[in-house]
Amino acid sequence: MSGNYAWINEPPSWTGDASDLSLTTANSTDFWRKTFYGFTRDNGHAFLKPVSGDFSAAATVIGAYEELYDQAGLMLRVDERNWIKTGIEYTDRLMHFSVVVTREVSDWSVIPLPDATPESEVRVRLTRHDDAVRVQYAVDGSHWRMARLAPFLDGDAHVGVMACSPERAGFQARFRDIDVGPPIDRKLHDD
């Protein structure tokens, strides 16, 4: 493994490193806490490294999205009760850009991507500035779009990529150019 990355819930099959990582999920994997469904799952697959202070993390995400809730993207994790996951999630027979912010309980927001296909390359970025996290995405080379600005914990954490398949085993996800570095500028809007 490269760059101090380590697995939380290592998948049954994976190859690569932070420059190009592929994995296949186990059955009924997810990260979720209580809200609406009433259950807690903390068995999704995440390849994370330690972070502290302000930073930006980004990755290109590609997945064979076929079944309900197939998902792949980034995760920022303090512990099993406080985390953010974001990326593509397959629901209502369509790829959506999804953000789940969990502080003891999970919320869920989605943005439909009607023109995206499983061959689409989605770039995902998380930026932490103090106690706020900005979530952005870009599909097939488009410009960055903001999906969420959320309050979050500002201490030590772990960040990297994650993939889950709550309804099956065998979801295949690929991540390229996983990068964690200094935060992007705090400016939220173009002039």
Range of the domain at 130: 6-181
pTM of the model: 0.95
Residue 81 has pLDDT above 90, yes or no: yes
Question: Residue 1: is its pLDDT beyond 50?
Answer: no
| Residue 49 clears pLDDT 60, i.e. is over it | yes
Whether 191 is in a domain gets the answer no
* Predicted local distance difference test score (pLDDT) of residue 116: 93
| Average pLDDT rounded to a whole number, residues 89-95 | 96
Residue 189 pLDDT > 90: no
Tell whether 111 is covered by a domain. yes
**Residues contacting residue 115 through CB under 8 Å, at least 6 positions apart:** 139
Structural domain count, the chain: 1
Residue 191, pLDDT score: 59
Read off the CATH number of the domain in which 145 is found. 2.60.120.200
Measured between alpha carbons, how far apart are the two ends of the chain, in Å?
Answer: 41
**37-72 burial code (b ≥16 CB/10 A, e <16):** eeebebebbbbbbebeeebbbbbbbbbbbeeebbbb
Q: What is the reported pLDDT for 58?
A: 98
Q: Torsion-angle region of residue 66: left (phi > 0), alpha (psi -120 to 50) or beta?
A: alpha
pLDDT at 190 over 60: yes
Question: d(Cα 145, Cα 139) in Å, to the nearest integer?
Answer: 9
